[in-house]
Structures are given as structure tokens and as C-alpha cells.
Amino acid sequence: MKKNGLIVLGIVLLFAFCGNARAISSDIRDNYERGETIIGEITGNILDPISASQVEFRRGHVLVPFDYDLKRLGGRYFIWANAPETENNYTLIIKDISTTVSGKTTTVNYEKNFSVGGNLTDYSIKPGFILSKEDFKIEIQLNLDNEKTISSDFPNGTEIILRPGGNDVKFSVSGSNGGLIIAHIGKYNAPIFINGPVINNTGEEILLSIDPLEIDSTIFIGSTGQSYPFHITNRGTSRLDNIRIEYNEKFFSIEQHESIALDPQEAIELKLNFIGEINDEMRKQGIEESLNINSGAYYIQLPVLIKFTENQTENSTPYLDNYESVKYCSELNGKICTAGEVCGGDTKTSLDGACCLASCQKEDTGGSNSWIGWLIAGVVLIVLLYVYSRYKKTKSNKGLDSLIEESDKRSKLP
């Protein structure tokens, strides 16, 4: 009986372990060349946002410094890291991931073992993924003594000539429709997320925008109540419903952010409040998070970078110097035009929609000029009647002439 009990316990533990393994996974390989760039996607039912602060790399039980980052791009989690040039076995650990195992919410640590060895890789890239709204650059390190040419399909097919050492390669976002793209840069598949216009399946451009594009702040450790205003605007022509904001609730709170709907040219202003407890690790490294804003297929991100200081004079949030709060239309001395009206001048985005800064006018549906159409139709009808009457008269005269000619012929007969 004791033996059977141990077998049952072993089976239970095996299923529990397998369930935990299936809860979170990645496509990180088992082997990498020395110095190669590791790029992988973390998949699974991730309930709470995860960030780079939850990542560790170990050699056995020893923490090893890696150059790396982890971000959510387009609703998917990606991680990149540059492998060491030292041959060894390593373990990637992502701590405290909230997920489900066997249908129950739990917290797990994801671990992935991989080895680094063999030749020094011919080239590496840094960073391994991009989140940007503007043109950007990627550093490509060539570990050869001669030039090497690689190809890239972003933004279009192009050849990149690498010279020995570091190469800062610039990429343009011009012509990109925004969203997540997996770009092929030589041998690497690099996720690139462009915060920009999104085209829906009907070809309509949806401009779900956010201001600022990034929150970068330095907080004095002794201060409290840090708050960061931002606003979301629908610059498209269609209403956006069910706009959701996802963020790390361990660090932040946002009031009244659920079930957001925006009409065209309407904006909403919210405040991101920092509520996290500052520990020793955060004092040294700060935090790097992001707000993920999406409405169906439309998705943008707001990076949040916060550093901590013990020097009160270093307390600063630069974007607030130029940040302009969104106002109600009445505060702009404007008017929201009703259905059937158009603005006779400039409009501006407001908290209650497209605000007309001029006068609202009745929309011209063509009814006021309908008499012109009737006039043209009348003239055409008169012309047609005249042509018809001339035709009938000419035909009638020809018939009469024929009768007279026939009568003359008969009168001349003997």
C-alpha cells in the first residue's frame, strides 16, 4: 500500500510539473554561438504584465550579468540577450509569472536552460527588438576582419554592408502602417513595433494616438504621490469602443480607465500614479514598464522609465514642461457641431469631440442647387421637342410633295 501511494504521489507530481512546464514556454533555442544575439518569444497564459526586472541569468547558482531586455510588443512578450563569449551552460529565469495551471491561478518561475559554445558568432545585433514611433538605429557588431554584406527586409529589401567592429545601422519607419513586424535582419528575426497609424481590414486609417510618447522620470526617494498625466486621442473617422489599458498593478494605478470609448477627434485624459514600494534593486536599476493600450486590432504602447535618486535636486519629469492638457470644447470657446452640420473653419481635438473654432454650418446636401438641375432638364426637353417637331414637319412635307408629283404624272397620261 505504501508503495502504491508513492507511485500515485509521483504521478501527481509529474502531472503538476508538466502542467507548470506547459503554462509558460518560449522558442529560445538550446544552443547558441559565443556572442550570438538570443531573441525569443515568451508564450502562455500570462495574467499580469511581466517586465525585465523579473529576469535573471544564472550559471549554476551564480548570477551572471547579461545585456538583455524584455518587453510586450503588440500583445506578445519578447526577450533578447547577447550571449557571453565564454563557453558554458546557462539558465534563463523569469520570476513570479502569474498564470494558470490546471485551471487555477498561480505564480510560477519559468526556466530555460541553454548552452553557449563553438565559434564566436560572425555578427550580433543590439537591441534585439525595437519599440519606436520614429526612425531608429540598431548596432550591429561584426566579429570578422573583412567586410560582410547582409540583407534586411525592413522597411524594404536592402543590403547592409558591415565593417569590422561596431556598425550603427539606421532604419526608417516611413511608409510603415504601424503595429508589430518581425523583421529579417541578416540571420536574426527582430520584432519591431511601430507606434503609428494602423490600417484596418477595410483600408481605413485609424489614428489611435497617445501623448506623451514616453514617460521618463526621476523620482526623489523621499517624495510621495508621483502622478503622470497622459491622454489618448481617436484621430480617425470611426468610433472606437472598448479601449483597454493594461499595466503592472504592482507599480501603478489608473482611475476610471475601464470601458473607454472615443468618438472621432475625441480624447480622454488619465493619470498614471506610481504606488510601488521602492526596494534596493529598484534604487539601483529603476523600473522599465509600459502601458499597453488597445481596442480590438488597434494597439499602441506608452513606455514608462523611472529612475530613483536620493538627491532632491535631481527630481524631474521633463515631458511635463511641454505637456498640454486636453480641454473641453467650451474651454476652447468652440462648439461641437451637431449631425447635419459642418465646421466652417478649424477644428481641434477636445474631451468631448471635434471642437469647431469657427461657426457650424448646415451641411450642403445639394438641395439648394436643385433648381439648376431642373432648369437643365427643361432646356434639354425643349430642344428634344423642337427637334422632334422639325422632324415630323419635314417628313410630312416630303409626303405632300410625293402626292403632288404623283398627281402631275397622272394628269400627263393620254
Q: What is the arithmetic mean of pLDDT over 383-410? A: 61
Q: Kindly state the greatest CA–CA separation across the chain.
A: 147
Q: What is the arithmetic mean of pLDDT over 154-159? A: 85
Domain residue extents for the chain: 21-195, 205-326, 327-364
User: Does 366 have pLDDT greater than 60?
Assistant: no
Residue 124 and residue 36 in contact, taking contact as beta carbons nearer than 8 Å: yes
- Distance of alpha carbon 304 from the chain centroid: 16
Give the model confidence (pLDDT) of 102-145 as tens digits.
888 899 999 999 999 999 999 999 999 998 878 899 999 999 99
| Separation between Cα atoms, residue 273 and residue 306, nearest integer Å | 12
Question: Which of 65, 55, 70 shows the shortest CA–CA distance to 85?
Answer: 65
Q: Is 145 exposed, middle or buried (0-12, 13-18, 19+ CB in 10 A)?
A: exposed
Contact partners, residue 86, CB within 8 Å, separation at least 6: 34, 116
pLDDT at position 250, please?
85
Q: How confident is the model at residue 13 (pLDDT cuts 50, 70, 90)?
A: very low
Evaluate whether 21-195 and 205-326 have a shared fold: yes
Higher pLDDT, 36 or 2: 36
CATH architecture of the domain formed by 21-195: Sandwich (2.60)
| Separation between Cα atoms, residue 335 and residue 331, nearest integer Å | 10
| Separation between Cα atoms, residue 5 and residue 168, nearest integer Å | 62
Amino acid residing at 258: E
**pLDDT, averaged across the chain:** 82
Tell me: domain 205-326, CATH 3.50.50.60, correct?
no
Q: How confident is the model at residue 21 (pLDDT cuts 50, 70, 90)?
A: very low
Q: How far is CA 41 from CA 25, 50, 94, 146, 295, in A?
A: 8, 13, 13, 33, 23
